[in-house]
């Protein structure tokens, strides 16, 4: 499934050793996507042990994938953003219009959405697969594809049914990200 692995040095507030994986997905015209996550200190020859305290996964989508998400956004009137996050609310892929509310795209907001879905699992009704939250000016639709959460932000007047119909198309992207997050 993965084409290439190598150890590189990156600057993310400090130098860190990381694993770079190129994945080839046929669903997006053979678009290559890559992510990097930090290697455990035991498997790296780097002497900077402070760098190994960082544990985030960074996923950099190719422009073709982001363009695909922008096309999905343009198909639903009022849809303003699509964000894929890991289990901690860290954005993996983010596509948004200029009018998207910035606070709804912040990791703290996205982490809260993920926690709300986790709490929904504890209600005794089974696994929480979808969550729809309606606010004065916005609505937030989330799909749980453990360990990936898909969050869609739209205006309150957007057609919720049309947003829910995007689930299958977004599921293809989440399958790619699922293997990336599970590998990290």
Contact 114, 149 (CB under 8 A): yes
Using the predicted structure, report yes or no on whether residue 6 has a pLDDT greater than 90. no
For residue 61, cis peptide bond before it (omega within 30 degrees of 0): no
Mode of pairing for the β-strands spanning 31-38 and 57-60: antiparallel
pLDDT score, position 76: 94
User: Reading across the β-sheet that carries 91-96, which strands appear in turn?
Assistant: 91-96, 79-85, 148-155, 138-145, 130-134
Q: Lowest-pLDDT range, 45-49, 81-85, 147-151, 176-180?
A: 45-49
Read off the pLDDT of residues 104-152 as tens digits, 9 standing for 90 and up.
888 889 999 888 888 888 898 988 899 999 999 999 999 998 888 899 9
Please, what is the Cα angle at 17 between 16 and 23, to 5 degrees? 120
- Tokens representing 36 are 């990097």
pLDDT score, position 146: 81
* pTM listed for this prediction: 0.67
- How remote is the C-alpha of 88 from its chain's centroid? 10
């Amino acid at each position: 499934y993965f084409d290439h692995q190598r150890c590189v040095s990156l600057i993310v507030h400090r130098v860190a050793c990381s694993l770079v994986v190129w994945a080839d997905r046929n669903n997006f015209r053979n678009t290559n996507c890559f992510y990097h996550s930090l290697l455990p200190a035991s498997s790296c020859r780097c002497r900077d042990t402070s760098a190994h305290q960082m544990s985030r996964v960074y996923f950099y989508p190719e422009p073709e994938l982001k363009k695909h998400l922008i096309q999905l956004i343009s198909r639903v009137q009022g849809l303003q953003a699509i964000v894929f996050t890991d289990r901690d609310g860290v954005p993996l892929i983010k596509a948004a219009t200029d009018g998207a509310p910035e606070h709804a795209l912040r990791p703290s907001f996205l982490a809260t959405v993920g926690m709300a879905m986790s709490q929904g699992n504890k209600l005794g009704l089974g696994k929480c697969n979808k969550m729809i939250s309606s606010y004065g000016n916005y609505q937030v639709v989330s799909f749980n594809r453990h360990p990936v959460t898909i969050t869609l932000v739209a205006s309150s007047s957007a057609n919720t049914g049309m947003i829910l119909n995007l689930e299958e198309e977004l599921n293809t992207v989440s399958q790619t990200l699922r293997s990336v997050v599970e590998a990290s």
